[in-house]
Chain A
Amino acid sequence: MAANKRIMKELGDVNTNPPPGCKITTKDEDIYNWDVSMDGPDDSIYKGGKFTIAIVLPKEYPFKPPTLSFRTKIYHPNVTNDDRGAMCLGMLRAEEWKPPNKIADVLKLVRAVLSAPQPDDAVEAGIADQFKNDRKGFDKTAQDWVKKYAK
């Protein structure tokens, strides 16, 4: 299938040239389930944390976007604060996804969003409000969570 070759190519690319701060493995050799271990970007409040992100590629990949979820709890307006830890990025929406987008691009975007949360595009309104109005409180909780969960 078309997707297969594409995915294999992407896997090869990220293994030889991984996106900064990311380590990518596939779950049980299943190329449709990627496990990413991402270091919190140095320029962000998540510095020092180690986040596990699960990426699931749909059968229709690359014509349908992958889904991305934080397995490590993270205090961030763009990540759902539940056991799924779903992260919804603009480019991952079905209507905005472009087939040539690569997982490596997605991961780069994830890092950018960790560094600069997008409260206007938030999935957790409460956290977004705090981010906008009480930046200090937000930073503190986020760093507490990093210590608590992401070590």
Chain B
Amino acid sequence: MTRVESNVDDGCIVCSNPIDHASLTPCNHRYCTICSLRMRALYKTKACAICRTEAPLVIFTDEKERKFVEFNVGEFYRTDENMGIAYEQQAIFEDTVVLLRYNCPDPSCDVACLGWPDLHRHVRSAHQKQMCDLCARNKKVFTHEHELFTQQELRKHEKYGDDNPGAVDQSGFQGHPECGFCRKRFYGEDELYVHCRDSHERCHLCDRRTGGRNPQYYLDYNALEQHFGKDHFPCLDNECLEKKFVVFDSEMDLKAHQLENHPNGLSKDARRDARRVDLSSFDYRPQYQEIRRGGRRGGRGRDPNSDAIPATSGAHMSRAELVHQRQREIQSAQSTTPRTFGGQLTASEPHVQSAQRPANAAQSPQIRNAQPAFPALNEQPNTNGSSTPRPAPALTPAEQARQLRHNAVTERAAHLLSNDEARLAEFRSRISSYRNGTISASDLIDAFFSLFDTSSAELGKLIKELADIFEITTKRDALLKAWNDWKAINEDYPSLPGPSGPTSAAGALGSGMSGSRVLRLKSATAPSARSTMGQQRSWGATAASANNPFPVLPASNNKGTATPAPTPSWLALRPASSSRPISAKVSPAPSRSQSSANLGRTDAFPALPAAAKPTSTVFTPGYTGAGVIRQSVGSGVNAWAGSAGGGGGANGGASSVPAAAGDADVGKGKGRKGKNVVFKWG
């Protein structure tokens, strides 16, 4: 009943597609790398597909005969400890990791996005389509295998599914089931079941009768109580009612319970009532609730205003008391400052103001912070933070408090940016753009993600602090709302694992990966046969090798990118650090030097004009582009276009221009050739 040996020539035993590269397990089973990756990356299982033996390491290879033990560690092009994959050749590695990017599902689009929010935005703006959020969170397919829907299609997809019996592309999908109480949809029956189990109630008596099959749910305890009253025999003794559901299947059981537990507890009247229940029209609940509300509870004399008193207590304070209290709060906040913010003091003025003066941006935060009171501290290194921050005497306590909050924000930002003043300046200018209404709150958050190379939790702290110092309520609320939206969209998504360790995927892929490779691999997982795009491969490989494995960084790296390498960020849902080599390359004349370097090694393409596309060289000084990968040259739909400075759109240009030119030359006739990808994990 179990086929053990795979027949490589016959296509992959799992997916029946022709095998491009084979995945070889220690048990010497071969099947295609796509199935192997699917199991390892999406289903999170390292078991061999064929014999279910745990395979801590598999080899992705083109060798058809060799056994697992015949490979030497030294032969591998690269080993990914995280997923347990050894790549025998570079081309296989590239073919593999491209599947793990946030590729746009549109079959003709080679854009890879930063993450789910970015992808959602991309399909909305570039294709006027949507993705199903439930599928994105739960469906175990590669990103580009998801589907794009119009608004109506999406509704149909959610409600009825998009199964199309008889068609080639039928999916068997019947829609996402909806919870009838909450009007909320869930990915599948299992998810709905979990929701109902956790959020709604089931009648244990009915379950016992039906054996738990075909479960009936009730919205909450009240609905369940009504059901008990209607269909079963609850004990009406007050104690039992308090216990929440002493209820019986039959009147006999109830009577037995009453005689046993409340021989004297029941009043005569109640006992008589219990005997007189008319079973055919047993509708007791509404009456009962009246009793409870009007009689017992009300009789206890609960003060309806008792809740209100604490809430209004502040109103009893006199104005003077309020002022006093506030001052004390401020003072205590001040006294803790050196401890809390042990580092250097940063801008003591509201930094939205400072951000409006980009000329100052080059100054280090250490210098700026000391401005009002201690000009002499300029010479001092970071240790000046140990001195007590005594604000200028002219400031009122309220201003002092505000200043402290500003300091805290700037402090945190500076810390997160590793005191890189250029990026700090960028940070400030973003905030001032937001404050001026030039960019929206969600744009601001996007900008932060490209700017900060940190976890969303850290960024969340920063954004909350930042929101605190906005004195305009609407701005503050908008920012918090945008942040919550981002979290809602982002944090539940499955993450795509990337290669582990410091292997610079960006180095291998970011600049070398031509769009054609993406499309080719997409087609590899598509139902139809391989497309002819495979022939573009030599170009992709050549370009990749030119940049591999670690691109040489130009000496003009003056941006202080000496940031300590963050913890491996492959699994985090955020702009990760892997583009650092690229960002380091963004120097004042980036595209020219980069493109010529690349082309010089790309024999297949003679003499491409060295001049880059003009719009792709937009460069924001100080922007190191740690996060953004997509540029949309001349495209009005670029979500980043609204950001101040256009930094988002520009940074990718450096390394991707050659690829763009290459595509154009190859004559693929893509109208969107300017759109390119710098590979990005996250």
Q: Which residues of A contact B (CB under 8 A)?
A: 1-6, 8-9, 28-33, 57-60, 62-63, 82, 91, 96, 98-102, 105-106, 108-109, 112
Contact = CB atoms under 8 A, between A and B. Distances in A.
Interface in B10-32: 13-17, 31
Residue with the greatest number of chain B CB neighbours at <10 A, chosen from A33, A58, A63, A82: A63
Interface size band for B: 35 or more
A81 to B, nearest CB: 11
A1 B50 contact: no
A4 B525 contact: no
Given A29-B165, A100-B13, A100-B50, A59 B171 contact: yes
Nearest to A90: B1
Interface string B244-257: 00000000000000
B379 to A, nearest CB: 65
A17 B34 CA distance: 28
A39 B472 CA distance: 77
A105 to B, nearest CB: 5
B224 interface: no
B140 to A, nearest CB: 6
18 contacts: A2-B15, A4-B527, A5-B16, A6-B16, A8-B16, A31-B170, A32-B163, A32-B170, A32-B172, A59-B139, A59-B171, A60-B140, A62-B14, A99-B35, A99-B49, A101-B1, A101-B2, A112-B1
Nearest to A63: B43
Contacts of A102: 3
A106 B2 CA distance: 9
A100 B16 contact: no
Contact of B15 (A5, A30, A96): A5
Nearest to B5: A100
Interface in B136-184: 139-141, 145, 163, 165-166, 168-173
Contacts of A28: 165-166
B39 interface: yes
A3 to B, nearest CB: 8
B137 to A, nearest CB: 15
B168 A4 contact: yes
A29 B213 contact: no
A31 B172 contact: yes
B478 interface: no
B533 interface: no
Contacts of B145: 1
A141 to B, nearest CB: 21
Given A1-B527, A59-B173, A91-B1, A99 B168 contact: no
B593 interface: no
B52 A96 contact: yes
A71 to B, nearest CB: 17
Contacts of B333: none
Interface of B: 1-3, 6, 13-17, 31, 34-35, 38-39, 43, 49-52, 139-141, 145, 163, 165-166, 168-173, 213, 525, 527
Contacts of A1: 141, 145, 169, 171, 525, 527
Contacts of A2: 14-15, 17, 34-35, 38, 525
Nearest to A102: B3
Contacts of B35: 2, 99
Contacts of B525: 1-2
Contacts of B168: 4
Given A2-B34, A99-B49, 17 more contacts: A1-B169, A4-B168, A5-B527, A6-B14, A6-B15, A8-B16, A28-B166, A29-B166, A31-B172, A58-B172, A62-B14, A63-B43, A91-B1, A98-B2, A100-B31, A105-B1, A105-B2
A102 B3 CA distance: 9
A63 B38 contact: yes
Given A2-B38, A28-B166, A30-B170, A100 B1 contact: no
Nearest to B52: A98
B23 to A, nearest CB: 12
A58 B188 CA distance: 11
A109 B1 contact: yes
Given A4-B527, A5-B527, A100-B49, A82 B213 contact: yes
Nearest to A91: B1
A75 to B, nearest CB: 18
A108 B3 CA distance: 13
Contact of B2 (A8, A32, A91): A91
A90 B2 CA distance: 12
A94 to B, nearest CB: 11
A101 to B, nearest CB: 7
Contacts of A63: 38-39, 43, 140
**Which 3 A-B residue pairings sit nearest by Cβ, starting from the closest?**
A32-B172, A29-B166, A2-B15
Contacts of B140: 60, 63
A5 B166 CA distance: 13
Given A9-B16, A99-B14, A105-B3, A4 B170 contact: yes
Nearest to B29: A100
B170 A100 contact: no
A1 B139 CA distance: 13
B530 to A, nearest CB: 12
Contacts of B141: 1
Contacts of A31: 170, 172
Given A63-B140, A91-B2, A98 B172 contact: no
